[in-house]
Structure 1
Amino acid sequence: MALSEVRNDVRLPVTAAQLGVWVAQRLAPESALYQCAVHFDSGPLDIEVLRRSVARAVAETEALRARFGDDGEVFQVISGTGTGTGTGALEPPVDLIDLSATPDPEAAARAWMDEDLGTTPDLEAGPLFRHALLVLSESRHFFYLRYHHIVLDGFGQTRYLDRVARVYSALLAGEEPGPMRARGLGALVEEESAYRESAHHGSDREFLLERLAGAEERQSLADGTAGTAPRALRLRTALP
């Protein structure tokens, strides 16, 4: 696998999965349903080292830097990073939200995250992600990442945050982080295109059509299809 490049703006086609999310978002432009978020409850942090770690990880992660357009064909543009000179040069911030003086810092932090998660995305302008460090006290922080599902899925989120953690640990120890070895989006788009033009795609399609032949129509207690929810619901429970 080749190293992801730090470069100026690059236009690429979208993948089939991205196209599906793009269409769904266009059908409900005010919906925040495809906004995703995760946060980590942590102790003391070196904020400047965290910011440097995020900047490096974003520079290495093309998917996060994507924004989307439509000129008769849906496409994505990978913005350059702060080290580039393109018009889309990006220096990702880590917003510092100090809630330590509020009566209930944890409740205030959760309310802040819920409100941010409901932000309406702009797929054309971007950026489609946000980092924040919510300060509950000197010894407790929430590190928060919000991203649109068109740029990351659960697996991608895990890999990205693992990279942030590895870079942070290395820099905190005064060491130089090793490079992140990952294919860029261009390679993934080419791989999907090659598959769709291959004999394997045709045989896979025929297999599924044969397997599903004669399947019953789906059953439903409703007469129609429910509309798109404006945002996801969150349920928190403690496991024994």
Structure 2
Amino acid sequence: MTTTRPIELTEAQQGVLAAQLIDPSSAAFTVGEAVVLEAGPGTDLDDERLRAAIARACAEATGMWLDLSGDPTGTAAALRSPSAEGVAVGLIDLSDRADPDAAAEEYLAAAMAQPFDLGGFPLYEQTVLRLGPRRRTWLFRAHHVILDGYAIHQVIRRTLALYASTDQAPEDVGWAHPDEVVAEQRRYLGSAAFERDRAAWAERLAGEPTPSRLLGSAVPGGPAVRCRAESRVDGPSVDAAAAALDATWADLAMAATVLHLARHQPASGDGPADVVLGVPS
């Protein structure tokens, strides 16, 4: 039985909703990952086991169960009771296509270009594309109002751990409940620490240039521009470098973005130009 109860949104969620409502047809707030899975030689991937792992990981991520169908503006936001049985995981067999990889790319591009209907539920989609006995592409897309990039990766990691586990009930990642997140935000916004932080950043950024962009100017409400680049990195080396700097791999990726932008920024009379990144909260 599905139950719902009212829930308060964070300021970040309210901001995402306000931006989406400017142009409900825009897919700019559709986020996601395509996870390529390949079994070892002589083994096949188990579709039902994978779909069950995806469903359970989604059920554990309470924030994914946000329901805005009562009012897409968020004033009547509700949280549905999570249930693995309530997670639909599609399975599309592309293995008989002449080029399964090309067919998968076409499907992914079309799916990521589709906006979510804020009046619908759920605000995520899970689809497994079968490319052959040993190969799958798992598409995990969602509206940014329920997940950010970090949370998506947490769900992916949890899914893969569940798929690989021989334990029927491996320990979960301990997701914070949305109520806890809202309460923590309320405490921070009402604290002296918030006022100090705001003053410090206002002083630090005074007179700085506008944030740099990878793709030039952006038009509010315009079509999303998506880029793709592939490269291979040594995961353990990246983790070790991040640990040595007391950082995460995401921090290293942001630093690499700054270095890339700096190479293409015109130098000022005093030397290399400053690079400012605008990072959504």
TM-score above 0.5, yes or no: yes
- Report the CA distance shift for 1:159/1:71 in structure 2 as closer, same or farther (over 3 A): closer
Give yes or no for the alignment of 1:131 onto 2:126.
yes
Which residue does the alignment assign to 1:235?
228
Aligned length: 223
Give yes or no for the alignment of 1:168 onto 2:163.
yes
Which residue does the alignment assign to 2:104?
109
Which residue does the alignment assign to 2:148?
153
Identity over aligned residues, as a percent?
28
Alpha-carbon distance between aligned partners in 1 of 2:4 and 2:59, rounded to the nearest angstrom: 12
> 1:21 touches 1:149 (CA, 8 Å); kept in 2?
yes
Which residue does the alignment assign to 2:21?
26
- Report the CA distance shift for 1:239/1:225 in structure 2 as closer, same or farther (over 3 A): closer
> 1:30 touches 1:230 (CA, 8 Å); kept in 2?
no
> 1:96 touches 1:132 (CA, 8 Å); kept in 2?
yes
> 2:49 touches 2:163 (CA, 8 Å); kept in 1?
yes
TM-superposed CA distance for 1:178, in Å, is 2.1
Alpha-carbon distance between aligned partners in 2 of 1:39 and 1:216, rounded to the nearest angstrom: 36
> Which of 29, 33, 36 is the equivalent residue of 2:31?
36
> 1:32 touches 1:230 (CA, 8 Å); kept in 2?
yes
Deviations 1:74-104 (A, max 9, x none): 3532222337xxxxxx711111111111111
Once the two structures are overlaid, the 10-residue window that deviates more, 198-207 or 11-20, is: 198-207
Alpha-carbon distance between aligned partners in 2 of 1:119 and 1:94, rounded to the nearest angstrom: 18
Which residue does the alignment assign to 1:183?
176
Give yes or no for the alignment of 1:207 onto 2:208.
no
Alpha-carbon distance between aligned partners in 1 of 2:95 and 2:202, rounded to the nearest angstrom: 58
Which residue does the alignment assign to 2:52?
52
- Report the CA distance shift for 1:70/1:50 in structure 2 as closer, same or farther (over 3 A): same
What is the TM-score normalised by the length of structure 1?
A: 0.82
Q: Say which structure, 1 or 2, has more relative contact order (CA 8 Å, 6+ apart).
A: 1
Runs of 4+ in 1 over 6 A off after TM superposition: none
Residue identity matched to 2:50: L
TM-superposed CA distance for 1:228, in Å, is 2.5
DSSP 3-state at the match of 1:52: helix
Alpha-carbon distance between aligned partners in 2 of 1:59 and 1:81, rounded to the nearest angstrom: 5
> 2:32 touches 2:152 (CA, 8 Å); kept in 1?
no
What is the TM-score normalised by the length of structure 2?
A: 0.71
- Report the CA distance shift for 1:218/1:162 in structure 2 as closer, same or farther (over 3 A): closer
| Structure 2 gaps, min length 5 | 39-43, 234-281
Give yes or no for the alignment of 1:196 onto 2:197.
no
TM-superposed CA distance for 1:131, in Å, is 0.8
CA RMSD, Structure 1 to Structure 2 (Å): 2.7
